Structure 1
Amino acid sequence: MRVLVSGAGIAGPVLAYWLTRRGFSVTVVERAPAPRRTGGHAVDLFRPAMNISEKMGVLARVEERATGTNRMTVHRQGSRRAVRADLSKIFGAASGRHVEIMRDDLSEIYYDATRDDVEYLFGDSITAIEPDGEVRFENAVPRRFDLVVGADGLHSTVRGLVFGEESRFSAFVGAYFGVMTLPNVSGLDGELLMHVGVGRTAGMYGARHLGDARVLFLFRSERELDCSYRDVPRQKELLRGAFAGLHAHVDRWLEELESTPAFYFDSITQLRMDTWSRGRVTLVGDAGYCPGPAVGGSTSLAVVGAYVLAGELARAGGDHERAFPAYERVMAEHVRGSREAALSAAKTLIPTSRLGVWGLAQGARLISALPAGPSRALVRLTTRSARLYDSVTVDDYPPSPPPDEEAGFRRRGRTEAG
């Protein structure tokens, strides 16, 4: 049975890994000309995604590429006194198993685990999907697939082709974020340096295996700004306007915007769809249920979603009419929880008042100062979404389909191939 997956980021390779091990033939198409090697920005893997990565045999590589960021220094606007916190204890209060890793490093690890068994089409994109499974591409010749999965992110091409305009499903959270790369002139090693003001937060961090650093910008906006996600000059202009005068450190970071080798900017937006499936097409990860970039644990959710989708397809013997609804039922509660967590995290990370700025700094200090048990209790008392990600449970799907189903997949593949 032939499956086309659009997107070679996180969800795409994870889905491809589990599908191939359950008897499916998988092709992954990716717009980028090659696997990205720039490092990207830091993302979090929580217990469920860590467990799935362990089953894939890649956990050692994931842990080896961890950023190693375990300390945080918070500077509040208008205050000369910095607050220092133990990040490892803060994350430990939220999850019993966690790692922070650069996004492109994680994508590369998952890609390496699949490249020998999966067909990858780089430098191409889907332009049309017919009801009978015929797919047209920008460059490759048309081909027919049994199933098509959009794993191509918040601005999914597959979702646009099958479900319509993104604006029908997107809900603006009231904030924007940007990420840039610059030289690690501060020599940050295991430290996150943050500057926080009302409605805006900027942070700089390094990774122990990278020679450069990343700067993350988060800022509030009561309305959606007139800016395409592809209009880079306008995006940089917005960042300069939002962060001017926050701190001398931040002003120096902004001076590097024109020379940065890597830059990303987008709204913090949730996708809210009644269903992620239509016909032989379904969506996974941010393409279907992005809880909010930078604030909602979307990477772990994408890994779990890919694993569940592959498991339900195998359980249903490739029958998407049974598998897709089952996949959506399993993921529905996790998606709702992640949306709520994202809204809560955005409120905390981008304070709306001076009291919120003070609370962010002092809360981090207190949690990191307490022993593990009391710190976990404090997180539960103060955060509705505490330990949300560790509470996600999924079935231990069988590693491969029953022999008769696997043989059926192969027979159908030979018949369709002529």
Structure 2
Amino acid sequence: MNERILISGASIAGLTLAHWLARHGFRPTVVERDPAPRAGGNGVDIRDDAVTVMERMGLMSRARELAADVHGMKFVDAADRAVARIDTRDAGSVEIMRGDLVALLREAAGDAEFLFGDSIRALEQDDDGVTVSFEHAPARRFDLVIGADGMHSNVRRLAFGPEDGFIRHKDHYFAFADADAALGEDRWVTMFNTPGKMAGIYRSGNHAQAKAYFVFRSARLDYDHRDVAEHKRLVGEAFADQPWAPARGLLDAALADPGFYFDALAQVHMDSWSNGRVALAGDAAWCASPASGAGAELALVGAYRLAGELAAAGGDHRVAFARYDAAHRPLVDRKQQIGPNVRLMVPKTDGGRCVRDTLVRLPLLKTAEAVERRLRARTARPLPNYHRAA
């Protein structure tokens, strides 16, 4: 039942889903707008149940070998002097560059069919399946369609309606791009703040290429989310007058990078992640925003659960989609509580920045993190081992 499954999006959620669907005996096809999986991106965390998923895929040892090896966050003043540091290392988790994780997942999804350089133009559901029209390939029939195509999901728009009904703006915009590694301290994320703004540089210990980060507070802006030139103009204007010594070089390098990425700090909230034979996964369904630090975790665990519930239900999407939603939503709800993270990275005022720096220098933050980890471990339920129903 429901063997032919189309996945839109070849990023973390889509590739993980393709692996597990193929492993459970389904026939996944992945369509991706770009000509290949996107290689760039920031550092992402594999933690808690996501570690279990990666171990069951046989990828965790390789992920540890590719770990970014970042010690923590360092906050600096305008003269580039460190005023506070947070050690973010956790022996139970791994931080890896997004592009490295995607490359591992692409190898693991080798049994899936891939349609690169194409996207879905229309979906027509009926009782027996979904007719999918593509921008380039001929129309085809699938039993199910899964949208794993990001916060601005095309599948969500086609099957659920305009994104304005689901995206909640969180009053900030962010950008990241390649930068000169000489501008930051090795193995640290260096951050400089002015009220409502953060400029920073990410220096992986295992990668020669550094990453520039920019976040600024703003009411909702009217722009085309695919217009990179407009994105660069917005960031250039927001950070043109930063007093931090490395800021100008960091900004110039970022604006020159063809892989420059910009978007709103926003979340996706939906009452249901499925509509008939169409379901959503990853940021398309529940984007928690980069401020959550949980994008990869949610994508890996959610895709594992979706494929597993389809297997356990023998392909019955009505049963599987409901179980997937019920099992994964509590984790999503918890990870979408991002208020403290935003205040830590981007204080609204100089006074807030001083309070942040003082708190960071105290042992309270690490103590709170340790308590939270113990509570998570104590309340966590084992991730199911799914099997295909006979």
TM-score between the two structures when normalised by the length of structure 1: 0.86
How much has 1:379 moved relative to structure 2?
A: 3.5
Aligned to 1:48: 49
Alignment partners' CA distance in 2, 1:64 and 1:362: 35
Q: How far off its partner does 1:36 sit?
A: 2.6
Q: Deviations over 1:62-94 (max 9, x none)?
A: 1111111114331135x775235352xx343xx
- Specify whether residues 213 and 233 from structure 1 end up closer, same or farther in structure 2 by C-alpha distance, changes over 3 A only: same
Aligned to 2:92: 97
Matches within 5 A, 1:184-195: 184-186=181-183, 188-195=185-192
Counterpart secondary structure, 1:130 = strand
Superposed, 1:16-415 pairs within 5 Å as: 16-37=18-39, 39-77=40-78, 81-87=81-87, 90-92=88-90, 97-115=92-110, 117-132=111-126, 133-186=130-183, 188-221=185-218, 223-243=219-239, 244-340=241-337, 342-367=338-363, 376-379=366-369, 393=381, 395-398=383-386, 400-402=387-389, 405=390
SS at match of 1:17: helix
CA deviation digits over 1:149-207, x for unaligned, max 9?
Answer: 00011011100111111011111011010001123233642122211222111110223
Question: Offset of 1:353 from its aligned partner?
Answer: 2.3
Question: Structure 2 vs 1, CA of residues 106 and 198 (structure 1 numbering), >3 Å: closer, same or farther?
Answer: same
SS in 1 for 2:182: coil
Cα deviation for residue 387 of structure 1 reads: 7.0
Q: CA–CA distance in 2 between the matches of 1:265 and 1:130? A: 32
Aligned mates of 1:306, 1:298 — CA distance in 2? 12
CA distance in 2, matches of 1:294, 1:63: 23
Aligned equivalents of 1:323 and 1:395: distance in 2? 16
**1:318-346: CA deviations, max 9, x gaps?**
10111111111111211111111x23311
Instruction: Determine the C-alpha separation between the residues in 1 that align with 2:38 and 2:368.
Output: 39
Asked if the contact 2:180–2:250 (Cα under 8 Å) also holds between the matched residues in 1, the reply is no
SS in structure 1 at match of 2:333: helix
Q: Give the secondary structure class of the aligned counterpart of 2:289.
A: coil
Letter in 1 for 2:85: A
SS of structure 2 residue aligned to 1:256:
helix
Corresponding residue pairs, total: 383
**Structure 1: distance between partners of 2:376 and 2:170:** 20
Structure 1 residue 248 displacement after superposition: 2.0
CA displacement, residues 256-280 of structure 1 (integer Å, 9 cap, x when unaligned): 3442232000001111111110010
Contact 2:188–2:204, Cα closer than 8 Å, also in 1: no
Deviates more, 1:185-194 or 1:175-184: 185-194
Unaligned runs of 5+ in 1: 368-373, 406-418
The answer as to whether partners of 1:48 and 1:393 remain within 8 angstroms in 2 is no
Q: In 2, distance between residues paired with 1:86 and 1:270? A: 26
SS state at 2:38 partner? coil
TM-score by length of 2: 0.91
Contact 1:182/1:261, CA 8 A, preserved across alignment: no
Per-residue CA shift, 1:89-121, capped at 9, x if unaligned?
x343xxx62211111111111111111x11111
For 1:277 and 1:24, how far apart are their aligned partners in 2? 19
| 1:207-245 alpha-carbon deviations (Å, 9 max, x no partner) | 334332101111111x10122212222222222232222
Q: Which residue of 2 aligns with 1:15?
A: 17
Q: Tell me the amino acid that sits aligned with residue 113 of structure 2.
A: E
- Where does structure 2 lack aligned partners over 5 or more consecutive residues? none
8 Å contact from structure 1 (residues 296, 339) kept in 2: no
Q: Is the 8 A contact 2:212 2:254 kept in 1?
A: no
Amino acid at match of 1:242: A
Q: How many angstroms apart in 2 are the aligned matches of 1:387 and 1:278? A: 37
